[in-house]
Amino acid sequence: MINDTYSFTVAIPLIVFFSFLIIGLGFGRLKPMVSGIFGTMALLAVTALSYFTAYRYFFVDGMMNGSFQKFIAYDALWMSFTDSLQVRMGVLLDPISVMMLVVISTVSLMVHIYSLEYMKHEEGFSRYYSFLSLFTFSMMGLVLSSNIFQIYIFWELVGLSSYLLIGHYYERPSAVAASKKAFIVTRFADFGFLIGILMLSGITGTFDFLKITDPGGSALTQGSAVGFMGLSVMTWSLLLVFAGAAGKSAMFPLHIWLPDAMEGPTPVSALIHAATMVVAGVYLVARLFTVYVLAAPDALITIGYIGTFTSLFAAVIACTQFDIKRVLAFSTISQIGLMMGGLGVSGYTGQEGLGYTASMFHLFTHAMFKALLFLCAGAVIHAVHTNEMTGMGGLRKYMPVTNFAFLIGCLAIAGVPPLSGFFSKDEILTAALEKDKLLFAVQYAVAGLTAFYMFRLYYSIFWNSDRQYHSKPHESPFAMLFALIFLSAASIVSGFIPFSRLVTPDLKPFDSHIHWAVAIPAIAIAAAGILIATLMYRKESGLPAKTAAAFGGLYRAAYRKFYIDEIYIFITKNVIFRYISAPLAWFDRNVVDNAMNSIAALTNLTSSRIKGLQSGQLQQYAYVMVTGVIIVVLAALYFMNA
């Protein structure tokens, strides 16, 4: 349904795109602070438009006949392959795209404001703000895309802009390596995504989301009857699409890029690795959820198990890390795994769609408190000039506002009521209990581990023993504190948003409430995790070392991230390079190159033999011409007499 009254929404991504162009082209001409303020003002305008769009859509005219509508706010033909297979560039508004506008604009605005002080004395300040604008434009374009081909274009732009931001400190070899690692790993995943897009569009005959996800349309029935290796072609195509989602959202085993991506500036971590890029995979599955749940339920179950395993896997690793940003990175992987798990256990209509609603709810709340935690970590690093929690302690005395904000974030992610994480996690756990008891049990365990490693982090930074700092730590400047206070408030109040009345898989609101039979044990498990962390880390003691020794090999494996990076390196160097790349390189050098060289040598030899024909001497040309004429005449006479 085309709705021209929302045509103004096309300005949302365009504003930040022009911000990128102006700041980027103004390198050397705009003063650094002017670039920062200009970019921030552009984001403020985008945020205002996003909030206005959300208000109008959810509370004014988005609902008709008891369900929310999907609007095409802008549409233009870009490429046409056949009469039925066309690529259009458009703006699609529905509950999840409008919700994502609020998430992206809010977190991006806070990061822009925060960075005015955090990046103030850094080299490349203007470049940083131009790439922030590029990234925000890419994410806005991704969530507003009206077709799967368009979303792939912005998907790749997100990958490019994240590469540029992660590698902001390009003079550091570690930052360069991290940016390349993120780019390469996600390229492998995106290759699967591209094949999935081609298969899905080939099956359905369209790229259009409205047609693909229409529950009453013919697209859902296509490809279900054709099987390959025990699964339908539709299932295979959606599994390949999920491969792209798994790469962007750092699902096991494609998670290895995210911890290293912490080499970028800390505000970038808050923007990319908490609230936007890493949830793009969750958004993609949610965008195609109708197809997954109705046409490929096996693929959806697979997503649920991969997501839940990833959440447990990353939570265990987070318990052993000492770099505060890496702890938050693995926490992000774990929480996104919970979102994927929520989608995997969801149905489609009414209460059966609780998992979908809970996943989107947790995406929203997680964006607020994880961005808060990353920005708090940035404030701490800004004060003590180290990422290692072993070099921190007692900072609550010097940074009371940051201490309080970090505590709010920890309580929210641990699922302590009445903070936002409690409400969204409760619904994920309830949906898992109704669908799969094994996933439910694993997610309970993850809830306890989350509370433990987050308060391990909190106590190690703000309590424990006082450290001898080179210079006395101090509270952050106002711009940074403003972002922390705003996100703290959002982490408290966002849990009270009635998500089941706004975001559902079938677009029809339903009533949801706290399920105390699930919530009370979850609170108890979180409290146990907090208590254990309090006993071990609130004051300096030998308990952490004794516990690590007690777990022995498991602790060492978790600390080394279960050697997944080493396995990848081994496979790359000893299998791919040795048995695939080396033979191909030999074939290229000895067969392809020699074949081309032989053709070139033959061409040179031939040319050297016949180059005399083009000597430039008129006498020679006349001699040859006369000789040729004589030969032709003699031949003609001979054949005439014969």
**CA dist., res. 283 & res. 274, Å (int):** 14
Backbone Cα Rg of the chain: 30
Phi, psi of 78 (to 5 degrees): -110, -55
For the residues 106-111, what does the mean pLDDT come to?
Answer: 94
- CA 20 to mean position of chain CA atoms: 20
DSSP helix/strand/coil, 209: helix
- Determine the average pLDDT of the residues in 349-358: 92
Q: How far, CA to CA in Å, does 87 sit from each of 149, 201, 314? A: 7, 11, 38
Give the three-class secondary structure for 275: helix
pLDDT at 274 (0 to 100): 67
Q: Residues 515, 430: contact at Cβ < 8 Å? A: yes
Percent of the chain scoring above 70 in pLDDT: 97
Taking residue 177's Cβ as centre, other Cβ atoms within 10 Å add up to: 14
Of 97, 152, 497, the C-alpha closest to 286 is 97
What CA–CA distance (Å, rounded) separates 574 from 576? 6
Residues 454 and 601: their CA atoms lie apart, in Å, by: 68
Name the pTM for this structure.
Answer: 0.90
| Residue 350: per-residue pLDDT | 86
Q: Is residue 225's pLDDT more than 60?
A: no
Token pair 């010097």 is found at: 398
Q: Which of these ranges, 31-35, 37-41, 226-230, 606-610, has the smallest mean pLDDT?
A: 226-230
What is the per-residue pLDDT for 406? 96
pLDDT attached to residue 578 = 86
| CA nearest to 115, candidates 166, 46, 171, 40 | 40
Burial class (CB in 10 A: 0-12, 13-18, 19+), 140: buried
The mean predicted confidence, pLDDT, of the chain is: 90
pLDDT in tens, 310-351: 999 999 999 999 999 999 999 999 999 999 999 999 999 889
* Residue 407 CB coordination number (10 Å): 17
Evaluate whether 504 touches 357 at the Cβ level (below 8 Å).
yes
Establish how many alpha carbons lie within 13 A of residue 235's alpha carbon, considering only the half-sphere containing its beta carbon.
Answer: 17
Please give the pLDDT value at position 220.
74
CA distance 176 to 191: 23
- Residue 27, pLDDT score: 61
**For position 39, what pLDDT does the model report?**
93
Torsion, Cα 92 94 98 103, to 10 degrees, reads: -100
